[in-house]
Amino acid sequence: MNRWDFHESIGMSKKDFFKILKTACKEILYVQPCFEMAPYHMFLLREHHVDIVTGSVADKKLLIQRLEQLHIRKGYEYNELFQVTPDQKNAKLNLGYDIYIDDNPKLAEAIDNKDGYTFCVLVTQPWNKTYQPKRNVMRAYNWEDVMEAIELFLVILRNRDEPVDSE
């Protein structure tokens, strides 16, 4: 897969693609993460409200089981796990978070084109390499990049909330 809507390039309908994807998601317990998070995810929840939002069509119980295998536990590394309908346009963006960490180039583009203080850390994958971030999106190749982007975005968000000195 080298583009987000790759099924279109091979003449497959979205419906057929999701049927195949749902079958493949039964193997979620064996899928390797895009990069190891262990040293980083643990302190995020201590400092911030962290939800996991996924468009995965995998069974939620399997998703939770896979997260636990990776030592990512509710209440320790994240607050809540939400599944959104993957074919609903901007389903994640409609949740109203300040910062998104995602691999979806369409979400990144929607955030880049949105006015205000919503940011995206775009985790580099083969299907999003052609997307060129503009102002509210930073690319990440590893968790060090993710953490750096979060820190930068948090500075921007804090500065937004500080009162302007009238002197």
Query: Alpha-carbon distance 99 to 117, whole Å?
Result: 9
pLDDT of residue 72: 85
- pLDDT tens sequence across 21-63: 666 666 666 666 666 655 566 567 677 889 999 888 888 998 8
Task: Say what the pLDDT of residue 109 is.
Answer: 94
Nearest-angstrom CA–CA distance, 120 and 100: 5
* pLDDT at residue number 9: 63
What pLDDT is recorded for position 112? 93
pLDDT at residue 148, as a whole number? 92
pTM above 0.85, yes or no: no
List of the chain residues with pLDDT < 70:
1-10, 12, 14, 17-18, 20-43, 45, 87, 163-167
Q: What is the pLDDT of residue 11?
A: 72
Residue 155 is predicted with a pLDDT of 92
In this prediction, residue 107 carries a pLDDT of: 93
| CATH 3.40.50, applies to 29-161 | yes
Q: What pLDDT was estimated at residue 47?
A: 79
Q: Where are the beta strands (DSSP E) in 33-133?
A: 51-54, 80-83, 99-102, 119-123
Residues 80, 74 contacting (CB under 8 angstroms): yes
The pairs formed by 4-10 with CB atoms below 8 angstroms and a separation of 24 or more are: 4/104, 4/105, 4/106, 4/127, 4/128, 6/127
Give residue 26's pLDDT: 64
pLDDT the model gives residue 34: 60
Q: Give the whole-angstrom CA distance, residue 107 versus residue 116.
A: 15
